[in-house]
Amino acid sequence: MSPRLLVSCLLFIVAACETVPASMDAALFGTEMSRLDQNPSVASADAELEQLLSRSDLTDAQRGDALFLRAGKRLDGRFNLPGSIEDLQTFAQLQPEDLRASAAERRLIFAAAEIEAAQTRLARLQNLSDWFDDKVLMGDFTDAAARYRKSGLTPNEAQLYLLREGRYICAANGSDMAEIVHKYGPLRDDVEGTVWCEDPSLS
């Protein structure tokens, strides 16, 4: 047998002997879910839940639990409600017999009503603050942040917190190139020393 053929056979044997990846440890999953549930920031929790859901070793039950948690946070935070509907629908498919199915159905109805109301408001003339809130509700966080930045206006306290947690607003680092957030009117304490992030991956 030639060396090349021998190596090919060995690789085939190794591949055949590989086991199916184990599911995520239940205790580790429970700890992570508890931590994310207690996270007060919908933007950061949403990003972390996206990472958790990208894992290939989640069981259907674990994936359903993560989707149900993310859907609830999105609804409570009025953050990407179309995404919340998708989460709840997938949850119902994964766990049709779950005791939370009726709650998921009620949340679907609520989310649909909120989306319809937001679409009606967006079709009319709005001030920037209200427009931002409705765009965030519709899942257009990036566009909403870009519009605020372009306007030169200062977000209100809740919006500033959301933009910080979404990594669109950063603490100033002394760079002369950084674009400050506050440009007009009295300076609030919470906005002092903040700049628009050049790289949204930085906070």
Residue 42 gets the label, from left (phi > 0), alpha (psi -120 to 50) or beta, of: alpha
Distance CA 47, CA 23 (A): 22
pLDDT at 203: 42
What predicted TM-score, i.e. pTM, was given to this entire model? Answer: 0.84
Strands 179-180 and 169-171, sheet pairing:
unpaired
**Tokens 């199915």 label which residue?**
101
Residue 123's pLDDT is 98
pLDDT at 182: 93
Q: What pLDDT score was predicted for residue 17?
A: 45
Going residue by residue through the chain, which has 203 residues, state the pLDDT in tens, using 9 for 90 and above. Answer: 555 544 444 445 444 444 545 789 999 999 999 999 999 999 999 999 999 999 999 999 999 999 999 999 999 999 999 999 999 999 999 999 999 999 999 999 999 999 999 999 999 999 999 999 999 999 999 999 999 999 999 999 999 999 999 999 999 887 667 899 999 989 999 999 999 998 654 44
Inter-residue contact 67 to 94 (CB < 8 Å): yes
Extents of the domains making up the chain: 29-122, 140-196
Q: Nearest 5°: CA angle at 73, between 98 and 203?
A: 140
